[in-house]
Amino acid sequence: MVASDDGVLAARVQALLASGQFRVYTNDDPLGVELGGTLKNAIAMAVGVCDGLGLGSNARAALVTRGIAEMVRIAVAFGARPETLWGLAGLGDLLATCTSNLSRNYQVGYRLALGQTLAEILPTLVGTAEGINTVGVLHRWARDRGVSLPICESTYRLLQGEIQPPPSRGGTHGTRTQTGEGLGAPGVRSR
């Protein structure tokens, strides 16, 4: 995604980066693109918790659906266009992050659901889970403005240790493999 207020510049960058194997899209809402890339991390942590608890596909789908609604509500309040969040820079990025074992934010949520603490998770995490800071910022922003963000608020409370997930039901992000290993997080066995 090439985002710029300058359509001519965006088209030039698009032409430079695009190839027969790599399609590049442009967007004239850079704020919306930036927010989509940031906000999805908070939702991905919540989806990781959902999968870690073994709540299933329907719960995950409901959480992602309500998560994009929160993302749109936040982005519009900041001045972004809602259609940006409903496209690749919002929903597309959200789906990729919420369904990938490589997502650091998803991994944090998944491991919290399995009973690990943030202090145990962070030293073993490869890279940074940006959603941890994002959730804190969103908590303060929503509190100061009286905006309802139930997913982000619950994730914030979980990260702060104010609430604990119920005991895990042996979460998996899909179906079990023949060996019984869950697809939700590497090395985590399902029941």
Tell me the catalytic residues. 40
Nearest to 63 by CA among 141, 150, 161, 136: 150
Q: Quick one: how far is CA 112 from the chain centroid? A: 15
Q: Quick one: how far is CA 88 from the chain centroid? A: 14
Distance CA 135, CA 144 (A): 14
Longest dimension (CA), the chain: 55
* Collapsed DSSP state (helix, strand, coil) of residue 105: helix
Distance CA 173, CA 183 (A): 5
Distance CA 36, CA 92 (A): 9
Distance CA 83, CA 87 (A): 6
